[in-house]
Structure 1
Amino acid sequence: MDDEQLPRPEPENPRPQQRAPAFNLPPAILASLAVLIVIFAVMNLPWWSDDTLNWIYFAFSFIPARYAFPLSQQGLEWLWTPVTYSLLHGGIEHIVFNSLWLMVFAAPVARRIGALRYVIFWIFSSAASAFLHAALYWGDQTLLIGASGVVSALMGAACRFAFPAMDSRRVSMRQAHLNPRLGILQSLRSRTVVAYIVMWVAGNALVAFGINLAGDSSQPVAWDAHIGGFLFGFLLFAPFDRQPPEEVREPLPLDE
């Protein structure tokens, strides 16, 4: 009688692969999105009168004309509006596009620098975007709203550590926060960074000439605030950065 041939057991994998979730945003980004969406929803409740909405926009939007006159002759709005304007949005397309870009480009920055530094970065980049806009439109009475300047700053910051790693196609954006920060000139040697900056500048140049590729084309776009934010993030990211520990600086390979 022949012996029964039992199947050979498969060796156990000592390091089972862990599949990362497809949608895994840092808590700071989720909190940012929640704040933007809640404010937008509250602002669009049906019971607000036009006078109340006008007061809210006046009190929390950035207006360059505020800084063309002595601050002692005004209220205190000049203190907080360089930041609060970034939390307001004028329409559904405006907030949807800013939220999408925020999810893409803010995630690696937030993972890298942590929630507290992310909030501080938001405050300073918002002010930098607003005051470049004010410098170009000094004394103008139009209202500036939206998080586009902050998003542009986060894009600029990502150019210092996240995008350069994509040159070799070995690193995903989910792991890019582990890369070392490059110097300004080093970043400009990256093919990915240069290609991105060229496309970004071209897109903003079209906006400057009235050609809006995305979002609500009926509303004017403060392309200059985008540039102010990007320059802030790209040139001044180092003081906000928190370098990853030496033992984890080497990014993980892409999942098969």
Structure 2
Amino acid sequence: MVDVWPILAVGVIISSLIYPLVRISSASLSISIGLFVIFLFEMIDSRLINELAFSPLDLRDIGSSYTIFTSMFLHGGFGHIVFNVFILVLIGNLLEERIGSPKFLAIYIISGIGGGLVYALVNLGDNVGVIGASGAISGILGAIAILYPNQPFMLLFLSFRNIPAWVMVLIFLAMQMFIALSQTNIAWEAHIGGLATGILIAPLLMRISIEERVDRGEKIDVMVFAKTPKEREIAAQIKPESIRDVRNAWIDQLAETAKCPICGQKVRNYRGRIKCRNGHKFNI
């Protein structure tokens, strides 16, 4: 007899990822709902974990390698899923609102898989299953830190102070080191692997997106050139400025330090647009 719960779970996974693309809704919320539905399936039939959890040995069997994907939608308990969903909604919306649902989903999925691969690399030959969305969520944190390093976070246990994203990454890494030294059953390797994957792929995805828009001649948000507080201040002056000479003066000032977001070369003001040494022209 065919076990229906794994099939239903995979259907929920796919639906939660496709729905925000079709309906243009929040991917963070859609994934969160999907996680809770699948957790309900787990409570009905605990064998679901055995079917969809990931272990390093699964990579040796192409028929079982899909678990590196499905495992990131399973959780080991109510506290586990509530904590992960809380963090996903908290930081996921910050990133998704800025880069859009398609790129957010790409970072989430690839980071989750990257976290699983790092876990497998560190634990070669291990047949213990690993589950949880933490690797994918860690990738979201990494993406925010690399794209928007000064994005503030509020931590209740630090007297409600606003903590920049790059500092949050340091705190996160310190926590993973503590977990590793404590020898718990928490897959810290997947957390670090997901974080690193998010840091690596987020700039690449954003660069590809910008290059496609440049090729189509679309307008580009001038903020993509602003990496420092001073550059952000200048870019903020450019966006609403309607007087051409004043706007050009601000563009000249930004071009003194800004770099091309596609190739990293120096840029200059080119007839009210921004152009780099390699010929990339940006309508801003």
TM-score band (shorter)? 0.5 to 0.7
Percent identity over paired residues: 26
CA contact (8 A) 1:59 1:77 kept: no
Q: CA deviation at 1:247?
A: 5.8
| More strand by percentage | 2
Return the offset for 1:84: 0.7
Query: Which residue of structure 2 lines up, in the alignment, with residue 139 of structure 1?
Result: 125
CA contact (8 A) 2:75 2:132 kept: yes
Alpha-carbon distance between aligned partners in 2 of 1:192 and 1:247, rounded to the nearest angstrom = 22
Corresponding residue of 1:246: 221
Residues 58 and 237 of structure 1, relative CA distance in 2, 3 Å threshold:
same
1:211-237 per-position Cα deviation (integer Å, ceiling 9, x unaligned): 8xxxxxxx7100010000001111221
How many residues align? The count is 185
Q: Bigger shift: 243-252 or 120-129? A: 243-252
Give me the TM-score of the superposition, normalised by structure 1: 0.65
Amino acid at match of 1:154: I
Does residue 235 of structure 1 match 2:200? Answer: yes
Aligned to 1:17: none
The alpha carbon displacement at 1:248 in A equals 6.9
1:183-202 C-alpha deviation (Å, 9 max, x unpaired): xxxxxxxx934422221111
Work out whether 1:204 is the aligned partner of 2:176. Answer: yes
Q: Which moved more, 1:87-96 or 1:237-246?
A: 237-246
Return the structure number with greater relative CO, CA threshold 8 A, min gap 6.
1
Cα distance in 2, alignment partners of residues 126 and 96 from structure 1: 18
| Structure 2 CA distance for partners of 1:207 and 1:44, relative to 1, 3 Å | same
- The within-5 A match list for 1:1-256 is 27-45=26-44, 48=45, 53-54=46-47, 56-67=48-59, 69=60, 71=61, 76-78=63-65, 80-166=66-152, 192-210=164-182, 220-241=185-206, 242=209, 245-246=220-221
Distance in 2 between the 1:32 and 1:128 partners?
18
In structure 2, C-alpha distance between the alignment counterparts of 1:158 and 1:141, rounded to whole Å: 33
Unaligned 5+ runs, structure 2: 1-24, 155-162, 211-218, 225-231, 237-284
Structure 1: which 5+ runs fail to align?
1-25, 167-171, 174-190, 212-218
Do the aligned partners of 2:139 and 2:196 also contact (CA within 8 Å) in 1? yes
RMSD of aligned residue pairs (Cα, Å): 2.6
Give the number of the structure whose residues are more often helix, by fraction: 2
Distance 2:182 2:36 in 1: 27
Task: Compare CA radii of gyration and give the structure with the larger one.
Answer: 1
Q: Which amino acid is 1:58 matched to?
A: N
